[in-house]
Amino acid sequence: MLQTRIGSRWLVPAVAWEAGKPLVIEEVEVAPPQKMEVRIKILFTSLCHTDVYFWEAKGQNPVFPRILGHEAGGVVESVGEGVTDLQPGDHVLPVFTGECKECAHCKSEESNMCDLLRINTDRGVMLHDQKSRFSINGKPIFHFVGTSTFSEYTVVHVGCLAKINPLAPLDKVCVLSCGISTGLGATLNVAKPKKGSSVAVFGLGAVGLAAAEGARIAGASRIIGVDLNANRFELAKKFGVTEFVNPKDYNKPVQEVIAEMINGGVDRSVECTGHIDAMISAFECVHDGWGVAVLVGVPHKDAVFKTSPMNLLNERTLKGTFFGNYKPRSDIPSVVEKYMNKELEVEKFITHEVPFSEINKAFDLMLKGEGLRCIIRMDA
């Protein structure tokens, strides 16, 4: 493994030079942090489907060359002007969205959609000066969702860093900086199932299983997993799923199947696929009078949600959520504490581990649909 030089030149980022091509470990200069920025040493990162989606560059603007990665844990190396609540040595989780603490959204108790630091997948530069902090021989290498964690060192806006308990193992809690928190929060913060209630979870990938984990923590008595891949059902039992439905096994809409299973519909549903048909089913399968459906998955930009207005008039509620309604700086430290207090089981989401030199193997595993989260060790 290459070693870090003294000064501002750091080694071993994995650069995505073009869509769908293997990442290349390069020698990249990482500039010092500027105003309201922090340079952190990444110790562990993991691969999320979002990284793969933008690496493939299908259906969105290709931004290359780029350093991907957004689920990670690291240690503060240096801070820029204006940073007062972090200092070198602090343990942090970088998050793809942020919390400036000044805008109307950040001041609201109901929203986590920061005006300043909301995710922007097309922006490949820092907000302060619209420049990249990464370069090779003077040529800029673009950032990804403000984090770029596939690098030994990266620069992140202070508002996108959650300071966490230094005793928390970064090789475990790094997965809480994106998908797991998204699914968990969608259930606990938005759906809010009551103890003894019924919950349907559409899509049993990592986010959906985290939603099921949230239902388990909340005390739901029946958790129905809905997925087209029957191979996922056995694993889902570890996350509290009690019953399974494969829509391919029925000749009628899955919402009708669920309504027959649970006397008119479930109390809550959480949709984690991004497919519009699943979204419609998730809404229409909740019970009238009190049912709440929460949409988590991101659909195609041209998709249209269609349902009868009577489904709303009959007192079903439809909600959407972003990052599980967690404010990164204010709320993620408490999610880490749930793990530390053994209320939240994180290890069962981690199915693989590879050294940084084999980062492309992590992509292969995800493309094959094997496992949930692959931890990438930066020191190996």
Which of the residues are catalytic?
48-50, 70-71, 100, 103, 106, 114, 118, 178, 373
Angle, alpha carbons 182-187-188 (nearest 5°): 100
Distance CA 362, CA 359 (A): 5
Distance CA 205, CA 374 (A): 13
Tell me the β-bridge partners of 241.
none
Burial of 180 from C-beta contacts in 10 A (0-12 / 13-18 / 19+): buried
Q: How many residues does the chain have?
A: 380
Question: How do beta strands 222-226 and 243-245 pair?
Answer: parallel
Angle, alpha carbons 55-19-41 (nearest 5°): 45
Burial of 213 from C-beta contacts in 10 A (0-12 / 13-18 / 19+): buried
Determine the longest span between alpha carbons in the chain, in angstroms: 66
